[in-house]
Structure 1
Amino acid sequence: MVNFYKPKAVKKQQNRLITVEINSLDINGDGVSRIGKKPVFISGALPGEKVEAKVSEEKSKYLRARAIKIYQQSEQRVEPKCRHFYQCGGCDLQHMSSDAQIAYKQKKVATLFSRNADLNDLPWQAPLISEQWNYRRKARIGVQYNKLNQTTIGFRQKGSNVLTPVKSCHLLPSIFADEFSAFHELLDNFTSHRAISHIEIIDAERPAVIFRQVAKLTAHDLALLEKFSTSKDYQLLLQTDNAIVDLNKQKPGLFSYDICGSQLQFSESDFVQVNSHLNIAMVEQAIDYLQLEASDTVLDLFCGLGNFSIPMAKMVNKVIGVEGVQAMVDRAQSNAQLNQLSNCEFLQADLNVEKDRFDWLNSDIDKVLLDPARAGAFNAVKNIVELNVNLILYISCDPATMTRDAKILFEHGYKLEKLSLMDMFSQTRHVETMALFIRN
């Protein structure tokens, strides 16, 4: 008989209490300690604190726990503004002062530059900071139902798909921040149970709430929605798989926002920068970093609906915007027309292909801006280094992939000239940066 090796099972001791001292924060904003040689990741704990924590997960190589009592408090600790902070998964850092949040995020970027690109001396510029609260332009609010068809409206709990029932959210614009109870009362009076799957809020020149309908509504429910809409200062929309209906009896149209003297339109499904105030500061700084001149031809990769392209086009000879999603290319083209710009060219291309020669990737380009998604721009960077342009501006929403891609630029004779943290998502662990690379 053959004997197979069976690894020794880890004894599960969830919910046991431990007392530890916190040494640092991990990339998720959780406190880090050790029991013997095993790391312990503790949510709600800060460096320098001694805490009692309840174990929620125990593996062979680590433990996860949640702080339930603070014996020794960090100077960085503040009282969370939101009553739901310790249950809701929307925010990570409300218990940390604003200055400490910025320092933590800069340290995370510095660690990744050292690890991924072997760079330790970083040319930090002043961070871009805007409103700490009520800043979200878009947000999706979850709706769940129990076996009795009772409604829960809120955001997911930390590490779970279960919703935390929310009464208010300080990250939403003031017009929407306290609307949860009104939404709850409305849906509780529906006769069509489970008809609404989620609620989306959009803060634009025309603020709107969109109810996502997944089952037929009765005449009673539609009457409730119409009555609800007449009492609000925002537009109420009902979205199905096939159409969007404006319950305020107006014709549904595109949303819009102003950026550096330009107006950009977008639909409910289009990607837009979440923090409207920070977005303006970001575009202005990008224009400054690139030292734009009237004779420049600028390549804007991952251009989206033209958030950078349209403002830049008013200052240069030509902008070539490239985007992988055709619908966003179409939106950028219509935004150029809306702003009466004829020096913009928008193209669809898969910028993640390993190697390709695009017609627009030519020697006429003077400067490059790229603003990729979290996956970064590894293959796009490998293509653009062959242009030998003097300035490349990299806007990043994930420092891990940005520092990975930066190594390619370093290997091709570029140096990091400026680096700025952008606090696009205050109170959360998410980090956005702007990095200017100059060819030596």
Structure 2
Amino acid sequence: MNVSDLDPFGQGVARHNGKALFIQGALPGERVDVTITDDKRNFSQAKVKRRLNDSPQRVTPRCPHFGVCGGCQQQHASIELQQQAKSRALARMMGSRETPAEVQEIISGSPWGYRRRARLGLNYHAKTQTLQMGFRKSQDNELVNIHQCPVLVPQLEALLEPLRECLSGLKAVRRLGHVELVCADNGPLMVLRHLDALHDTDRQKLERFSHSFGVALFLAPDSETLTAVGEDEPCYHSDGLRLMFSPRDFIQVNDAVNQQMVARAIEWLDVQPTDRVLDLFCGMGNFTLPLALRAESVVGVEGVAALVAKGEYNARHNSLKNVTFFHENLEDDVTRQPWAAQGFDKILLDPARAGAPGVMQHVISLAPSRVVYVSCNPTTLARDSEALLAAGYQIRRLAMLDMFPHTGHLESMALFERI
């Protein structure tokens, strides 16, 4: 079997009986003997029995857990091959079969030590009386006991073993849910989900760990409550602004790519001092606040109330008075929402994986000269872009965002300009 391509999920692609065959672990240019594991009408899946040659773009995975842990799928492929494969997939999805779109740019940072946030599952193994801490297996709920993770920022990777030792010594070790690690610009933090009230001695051990390793501690007895043990509020910087956030707020995991993404969006929108800009699905203002440094006024609309409150707080904290945030569900009828009747020169959208079908027609009716769409799902980007193209917009720029190297996540951004 000759492998001809790599899909975004790290599977080699071949042809078998007239249909696509996806082969886990195989790379383009390799010849492999395979076992078919799933044979469907339009495609099949297989695993490698024997590899007859190695692709020159095959590399040795850096992580000892690769192949078992479900976090990464592509550490066996060079970063150049990963980026090429994702760019080709994006070009196919954004164009037609006959005429793929052109991906003009790959926005990337370091392929290692980039991840500033991780959620680690915790499970006490009664038979061995040890605490397992790690990520889930691929297509399995079983935990992989992680001892190192080279995609984590070094400050977080260095915490893995001392954190495991600390948690293993708690009286509540059998009743822990998960631990989340975040590397804020003012230091790392951890959120511990515990299923029962913590004994005083456990709190003391956690506080000693917090002080010893300079980690801000947050305790979560349930999914709604978050108790800070200390006073530092986490923050990160974007375009010279200091943005405060709660450990449960969404922030982009890859800081280097986020910084470039924000700068590119501002550049593509060509924001002028007289512009009124609309930022839909704005979160806590990752784009909104940098846009406000350049525009006459910016409106941010977001469906999560806590993020709207944090955006307003950060606007005040950074002395930005030309920003207005609205808490609105953008899947509802947006034409009745208070921001909808305003006029806007430029629009930015950064929706979740479901895309923005509920607002596309209203975006068109507002007739902005430029639209930047930031996407974490190229399938919904392609779908939503059809409305803009049908309304007379053209794709002027298309970039692949390598936000999650070694994984199957394909993120992108596109600039649409009215003809």
If the TM-score is normalised by the length of the shorter chain, which range does it land in? over 0.9
Structure 2 residue 231 is matched with structure 1 residue 263: no
Q: Structure 1 169/312 Cα, relative in aligned 2: closer, same or farther at 3 Å?
A: same
Equivalent in 351, 357, 368 of residue 389 of structure 1: 368
Q: Note if contact 1:319-1:344 (Cα within 8 Å) is conserved in structure 2.
A: yes
1:384-425 Cα distance to aligned partner (Å, 9 max, x none): 101111101111111110011010001100000111111111
1:180 Cα deviation from its structure 2 partner: 2.5
- State the secondary structure of the residue aligned to 1:194: helix
- CA distance in 2 between counterparts of 1:48 and 1:254 reads 50
Aligned partner letter, 1:182: P
Structure 2 residue 251 is matched with structure 1 residue 272: yes
1:21 Cα deviation from its structure 2 partner: 3.3
Structure 2 residue 86 is matched with structure 1 residue 105: yes
- CA distance in 2 between counterparts of 1:239 and 1:72 reads 51
1:333-388 Cα distance to aligned partner (Å, 9 max, x none): 11110111111010011112366343322362111011001111112112110111
- CA distance in 2 between counterparts of 1:217 and 1:100 reads 48
Equivalent in 349, 356, 362 of residue 377 of structure 1: 356
Match of residue 166 from structure 2: 186
Match of residue 215 from structure 2: 234
Q: Note if contact 1:260-1:311 (Cα within 8 Å) is conserved in structure 2.
A: yes
1:191 Cα deviation from its structure 2 partner: 2.9
Equivalent in 17, 20, 23 of residue 42 of structure 1: 23
The answer for unaligned runs of 5 or more in structure 2 is none
- State the secondary structure of the residue aligned to 2:187: coil
1:50 Cα deviation from its structure 2 partner: 2.1
Equivalent in 395, 398, 414 of residue 435 of structure 1: 414
| Matched length | 415
Equivalent in 179, 182, 186 of residue 199 of structure 1: 179
The answer for unaligned runs of 5 or more in structure 1 is 1-19
1:202 Cα deviation from its structure 2 partner: 0.8
Q: Note if contact 2:335-2:341 (Cα within 8 Å) is conserved in structure 1.
A: no
1:147 Cα deviation from its structure 2 partner: 4.0
Structure 2 residue 111 is matched with structure 1 residue 132: yes
1:232-267 Cα distance to aligned partner (Å, 9 max, x none): 1322333222654455xx23x531111111111110
Aligned partner letter, 2:261: M
Match of residue 177 from structure 1: 157
Structure 2 residue 131 is matched with structure 1 residue 151: yes
Which segment is superposed worse, 190-199 or 368-377?
190-199
Aligned partner letter, 1:25: L
Q: Structure 1 69/82 Cα, relative in aligned 2: closer, same or farther at 3 Å?
A: farther
Percent of pairs identical after alignment? Answer: 36
Instruction: With the length of structure 2 as denominator, give the TM-score of the two structures.
Output: 0.92
Equivalent in 261, 282, 286 of residue 307 of structure 1: 286
Equivalent in 319, 337, 342 of residue 358 of structure 1: 337
Aligned partner letter, 1:395: V
- CA distance in 2 between counterparts of 1:261 and 1:183 reads 33
1:427 Cα deviation from its structure 2 partner: 1.4
- CA distance in 1 between counterparts of 2:187 and 2:161 reads 22
- CA distance in 1 between counterparts of 2:365 and 2:396 reads 19
- CA distance in 1 between counterparts of 2:99 and 2:174 reads 53
Q: Note if contact 1:304-1:323 (Cα within 8 Å) is conserved in structure 2.
A: yes
Which segment is superposed worse, 299-308 or 418-427?
418-427
Equivalent in 126, 140, 148 of residue 160 of structure 1: 140
Q: Structure 1 243/396 Cα, relative in aligned 2: closer, same or farther at 3 Å?
A: closer
- State the secondary structure of the residue aligned to 2:107: coil
Aligned partner letter, 1:280: Q
Q: Note if contact 2:190-2:215 (Cα within 8 Å) is conserved in structure 1.
A: yes
Q: Note if contact 1:123-1:416 (Cα within 8 Å) is conserved in structure 2.
A: no
Aligned partner letter, 1:71: L
Which segment is superposed worse, 69-78 or 397-406?
69-78
1:223 Cα deviation from its structure 2 partner: 3.6
Structure 2 residue 197 is matched with structure 1 residue 216: yes
Match of residue 385 from structure 2: 406
Aligned partner letter, 1:254: E
Match of residue 96 from structure 1: 77
- State the secondary structure of the residue aligned to 1:274: coil
1:173-223 Cα distance to aligned partner (Å, 9 max, x none): 111113332233223333324222111111112311222111233344334
Q: Note if contact 2:38-2:45 (Cα within 8 Å) is conserved in structure 1.
A: yes
Aligned partner letter, 2:345: D
1:119 Cα deviation from its structure 2 partner: 8.0
Aligned partner letter, 2:60: E
Aligned partner letter, 1:290: L
Aligned partner letter, 1:75: P
- CA distance in 2 between counterparts of 1:229 and 1:124 reads 45
Instruction: With the length of structure 1 as denominator, give the TM-score of the two structures.
Output: 0.88
Q: Structure 1 39/437 Cα, relative in aligned 2: closer, same or farther at 3 Å?
A: closer
Aligned partner letter, 1:43: Q
1:51 Cα deviation from its structure 2 partner: 2.8
Q: Write the mapping of 1:65-76 to structure 2, written as runs, cut at 5 A.
A: 65-67=46-48, 69-76=50-57
Aligned partner letter, 2:131: T
Aligned partner letter, 2:134: G
1:129 Cα deviation from its structure 2 partner: 1.3
Q: Note if contact 1:195-1:217 (Cα within 8 Å) is conserved in structure 2.
A: no
Q: What is the CA RMSD across the aligned residues, in angstroms?
A: 2.2
Aligned partner letter, 1:379: G
- CA distance in 2 between counterparts of 1:359 and 1:119 reads 43
Q: Structure 1 333/63 Cα, relative in aligned 2: closer, same or farther at 3 Å?
A: same
- CA distance in 2 between counterparts of 1:221 and 1:321 reads 42
Match of residue 67 from structure 2: 86
